[in-house]
């Protein structure tokens, strides 16, 4: 007898309560990390044209915003400093200035909003005159080991300022091990490392480079000699394995939505705390579609973030964090 349908997948979709009961993944405010851009000065805020709704702001305004984020339940922010051109150099020494903008912002955040986790970016691009993430030799090549020495100093200066998590986003080889060793030796044994382990040489970073003022700079035009080829997946797993072995506490995949396959493989293979970065270009294209009325803003934001959870991410760095937190209320 096959005149009836024994299996009807639609049965459990009929009511909201069964849909809720069988949901395999959920998004919560605790999954969200908000990237923020900090500027020198006081009571200063600048819009970023390619990232509508996001601005660069001075530390005093950043603190106010940080309080609002805590109020919303957002657990952490990722901090990116905008360096004035006159402080950029070939050797990027501003990166480890104990009184640099990032270090000052970290100190202020930990003093005034101690409950908010602070994740600091470790890479040299905001500080080099050429906009690359490391030191450049006479042929324009980004040299690895000398760059790592500067990254170690930068990471230490962040830890000393009170950063909870340092996040190397530079893709130099061996930097996690060297940073971990220096943190241990200097007594920062509980400073976590979130490694940008699988970071691709992506064209989705454009608006971020506008935000930091590194876009016009980038000498050589791309970062392909250190960031990964978008064609590769096994290579990402090797990068992740290496960073875990060197002492990373959590790993990251970046960009986000076009790389959810990497997030999934990472989580399945290693079972480590796995984060994904929905980057500036992903934000910008969503915003452009919302502004044109082509997509439903609230629904698409939530769907895009839930997709990260389904793929296995423990948390998401996203410029939608604040908006999503409001929607989740
Ligand atoms: C640089 C860095 C980049 C981002 C985070 N850290 C850009 C790059 O590698 O050029 C991109 C973030 C985004 O696009 O939102 N170390």
Please give the average pLDDT of every successive group of 10 residues along the chain, which has 329 residues: 85 97 98 98 97 98 98 98 95 98 98 98 96 94 97 98 98 98 98 98 94 79 94 98 98 98 98 98 98 98 98 98 97
CA angle 11, 14, 19 (to 5 degrees): 95
**Are the beta carbons of 176 and 249 closer than 8 angstroms?**
no
Specify the pLDDT at position 253: 98
State yes or no: is 254 an active-site residue. Answer: yes
Which residue's alpha carbon is nearest to atom 2 within ligand 1?
169
Which residue ranges make up each domain of the chain?
25-328
Beta bridge pairs of residue 136: 142
Task: Classify 87 as helix, strand or coil.
Answer: helix
49 to 54, 61, 78, 162, 291: CA distances (angstroms) = 9, 19, 20, 32, 13
Catalytic one of 88, 199, 309, 322: 199
Specify the pLDDT at position 218: 78
- State yes or no: ipTM above 0.90: yes
Specify the pLDDT at position 216: 66
Which residue's alpha carbon is nearest to atom 5 within ligand 1?
169
> Which atom belonging to ligand 1 lies closest to the Cα atom of 218?
10
**Are the beta carbons of 106 and 161 closer than 8 angstroms?**
yes
The ligand 1 site (C-beta within 6 Å) comprises: 121, 123, 125, 133, 169-170, 205, 208-209, 223, 279-280
Q: Measure 232 CA to ligand 1 centroid, in angstroms.
A: 19
Token pair recorded at residue 302: 């939530």
Specify the pLDDT at position 314: 98
State yes or no: is 199 an active-site residue. Answer: yes
The preferred substitution site among 54, 123, 171, 212 for testing ligand 1, maximizing ligand atoms within 8 Å of CB, is 123
Between 2.30.30.240, 3.30.420.40, 3.20.20.70, 3.40.50.1970, what CATH number should domain 25-328 receive?
3.20.20.70
Specify the pLDDT at position 1: 54
Catalytic one of 14, 42, 224, 254: 254
């Amino acid at each position: 007898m096959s005149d009836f349908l024994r299996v009807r997948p639609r049965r459990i979709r009929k009511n909201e309560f069964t849909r809720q009961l069988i949901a395999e993944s959920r998004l919560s405010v605790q999954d969200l990390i908000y990237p923020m851009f900090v500027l020198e000065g006081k009571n200063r805020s600048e819009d970023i044209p390619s990232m509508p709704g996001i601005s660069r702001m001075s530390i005093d305004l950043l603190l106010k915003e940080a309080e609002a984020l805590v109020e919303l339940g957002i657990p952490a922010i990722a901090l990116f400093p905008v360096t004035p051109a006159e402080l950029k150099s070939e050797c990027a020494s501003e990166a480890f200035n104990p009184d640099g903008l990032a270090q000052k912002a970290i100190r202020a955040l930990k003093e005034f909003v101690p409950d908010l986790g602070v994740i600091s970016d470790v890479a040299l691009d905001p500080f080099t005159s050429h906009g690359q993430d490391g030191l450049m030799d006479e042929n324009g090549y980004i040299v690895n080991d000398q760059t790592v020495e500067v990254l170690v100093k930068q990471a230490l200066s962040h830890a000393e300022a009170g950063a909870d998590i340092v996040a190397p986003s530079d893709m130099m080889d061996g930097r996690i091990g060297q940073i971990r060793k220096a943190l241990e030796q200097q007594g920062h044994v509980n400073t976590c490392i979130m490694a940008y382990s699988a970071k691709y040489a992506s064209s989705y970073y454009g608006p971020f480079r506008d935000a930091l003022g590194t876009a016009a700079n980038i000498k050589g035009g791309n970062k392909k000699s250190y960031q990964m080829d978008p064609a590769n997946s096994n290579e990402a797993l090797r990068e992740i394995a290496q960073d875990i072995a060197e002492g990373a506490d959590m790993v990251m995949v970046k960009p986000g939505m076009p790389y959810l396959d990497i997030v999934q493989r990472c989580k399945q293979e290693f079972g480590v705390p796995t984060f994904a970065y929905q980057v500036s270009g992903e934000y910008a294209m969503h915003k452009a579609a919302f502004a044109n009325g082509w997509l439903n803003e609230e629904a698409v934001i939530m769907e895009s973030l839930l997709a990260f959870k389904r793929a296995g991410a423990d948390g998401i760095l996203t410029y939608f964090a604040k908006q999503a937190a409001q929607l989740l209320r």
